[in-house]
Amino acid sequence: MTEPIDGAKQVRIIEHIKEMWETVMDARKNGRSIGLVPTMGALHRGHLSLIERAAAENDVTIVSIFVNPIQFDDKQDLGAYPRDLARDAASAAAVGANAIFAPSVSEMYPDGFSAYVDMTGISEALCGRVREAHFRGVCTVVAKLFHITDPDRAYFGEKDAQQAAVIKKMAADLNFNTEIVTCPTVRDTDGLALSSRNTRLDAAERNAAPCLYRALNAGAALFRSGESDAGKITEAVRAVLEAEPRARVDYAEIVDPASFRGVPKARSGDVLALAVYIGAVRLIDNLRL
Ligand code: PAF
């Protein structure tokens, strides 16, 4: 027997797929709508804004916390990923989560696991180009989470603009009956986009990190002043980043928001996207022109 999840305040931590399924089936039987917020934990105000939105729009809000090994191309990055389930569960509950789905790696990927979701096109640009098999890992785990939690709506942050676009396309192409809701990037007062990776910056790196937002704004200002040559805009963006000794640019590109392919001439609505190493920590950010 599973306990029902409804609007109750206390949060349940569910580790097994079978229990999650049964819980979802109970909620469905009671006619409740389900919102899913997929995360890898280390929850910050950006995640909490997604959970709040999900709680406002659904009867039941499930937050998944799973550091998905198959989306990391770098073992060190995976090992260093911050983890604190008890703290995350308390923060998620405080803003309206009803259940935390926190499976183990072997629960999600038992021995012999061999089915993956591979996308072409949109997932091959930017992060897909520089991080091998990253979106294959993201799409596979998100497809599994959708099957396990059967959400009416799933919530993703605009900081990961390409991820949100890839997941929207996957959900459409594979006929998931889930609405993909994107929510605005949450920033610190100095403009740094909130990210679980920010906790890995030392004090000097944390001071350097707002150069991403300054660089994005420099590009956006040049575009607003009438410059549309994507090369010239990204040159101005790179100049800001290169002035920061702790920053190393992975990519700085202007892309079409539908295909995520680079454009020669920037148009209003295009995405100016950045991936930048600050020390050993890779941060991403973007701005709509
Ligand atoms: O954005 C993330 O935290 C992850 O990529 C996601 C969507 C939870 C899949 O592991």
Condensed to tens digits (0 to 9), the pLDDT of residues 161-214 reads 999 999 999 999 999 999 999 999 999 999 999 999 999 999 999 999 999 999
C-alpha to C-alpha distance for 155 and 138, rounded to whole angstroms: 14
Structural fold of domain 196-288:
Pantoate--beta-alanine Ligase; Chain: A,domain 2 (3.30.1300)
Mutate to test the pocket of ligand 1, among 101, 123, 141 (most ligand atoms within 8 A of CB): 141
* Ligand 1 residue neighbourhood (C-beta within 6 Å): 38-40, 68, 71, 138, 141-142, 160, 163
**Does the annotation mark 47 as catalytic?**
yes
214 Cβ contact partners less than 8 Å away, ≥ 6 residues apart: 191, 240
Distances (CA, A) of 112 to 106, 123, 142: 10, 26, 19
pLDDT average, residue stretch 113-127: 94
Mutate to test the pocket of ligand 1, among 73, 160, 286 (most ligand atoms within 8 A of CB): 160
pLDDT, residue 9, reads 55
C-alpha to C-alpha distance for 265 and 274, rounded to whole angstroms: 17
202 Cβ contact partners less than 8 Å away, ≥ 6 residues apart: 279
CATH of 12-183, one of 1.10.10.10, 3.40.50.620, 3.40.50.670, 3.90.950.20: 3.40.50.620
User: Average pLDDT of the chain?
Assistant: 95
Annotated domain spans of the chain: 12-183, 196-288
Query: Which ligand 1 atom is at minimum distance from the Cα of 157?
Result: 1
Condensed to tens digits (0 to 9), the pLDDT of residues 250-288 reads 999 999 999 999 999 999 999 999 999 999 999 999 999
Ligand 1 centroid, distance to 39 Cα (angstroms): 5
Condensed to tens digits (0 to 9), the pLDDT of residues 69-85 reads 999 988 888 998 999 99
